Amino acid sequence: MRWLICIDDTDNEDSIGTGKLARQLGASLQERRLVSGEISVTRHQLLVHPDIPYTSHNSSACIEAQSAEERDTLLDAARDYLKQHEHPGANPGLCVVAADAVPPALVAIGRAAQREVLDLNAFDEQIHEMDLALWCSGTTGQGRIGACSGVALRSTGEDGRFIGLRGIRDLEGRLSVAEICDRSGVVAVRTEDGEFLDADVMIDTGDWVRPTLIGRRPVLLVRDDGGRWVPAARRSKDD
């Protein structure tokens, strides 16, 4: 079964960041053989607003992985890992849901979290009847909003940037589309206008390739930078 495991608000100014922690959590689950095969991690941007506590960019990070384990086993393992790496002042949240069982109402909440400030009490009431495996900690447990929202957004197949995917962190220099796809989990390279580039087109990677989740596939978006193709996404601490 495919599972979505999302974390949020797990850091402070001195920590490694939610994105890196999610990648390390995924690696830990692999090492413990709780998940099998390749995993991927996506970063999901939520609303940045003065009324929302966040460290840098208010993003959550969602792991997708195959596992034969029960949901509560995955939740317990991820929770224990986060508790071991919890930072002072953090309000971490964790959500585990089967990839094909994300409630449509949760997707609506995830979309809302990208547009508006959500009230914690109202949020808790909305998810009360949903079949979610959820854990949170800290003074407020604020991270539960981001964790649930990240699961929801990842489930749409149309939101998020891959920060953990086979081979993307080893791509350097100037590479053809074919080389990028052969050496990583990227399946295609597309311009921001929607044009898919041919296999022999060269991309100046800038040593930073972070594909976008489009049509449930990792697609690298590129832009024209003075006659050369470069990744369209901007670097982020969370990546």
pTM for the whole thing? 0.93
For residues 43 and 63, state if they share a domain.
yes
Q: Mean pLDDT for the chain?
A: 92
CB contact at 8 A, 77 and 126: no
Domain count, the chain: 2
For residues 70 and 105, state if they share a domain.
yes
CATH number for 28: 3.30.70.2200
For residues 148 and 184, state if they share a domain.
no
For residues 190 and 150, state if they share a domain.
no
239 lies in some domain:
no
pLDDT of residue 237: 62
pLDDT in tens, 48-98: 777 665 555 678 999 999 999 999 999 999 999 999 988 887 889 999 999
For residues 154 and 191, state if they share a domain.
no
Residue range(s) defining the domain that contains residue 209: 167-231
For residues 129 and 192, state if they share a domain.
no
Position 204 pLDDT exceeds 90: yes
Q: What are the backbone angles phi and psi of residue 108, rounded to the nearest 5°?
A: -60, -40
Q: Which of 184, 108, 114 is nearest to 146 (CA)?
A: 114
What angle, 0 to 180 degrees and rounded to 10, lies between the N-to-C axes of helices 120-127 and 104-113? Answer: 160
3-state secondary structure of 74: helix
Beta-strand pair 161-164/188-191:
unpaired
Q: Residue 19 carries which DSSP code?
A: H
pLDDT in tens, 142-158: 899 999 999 999 999 99
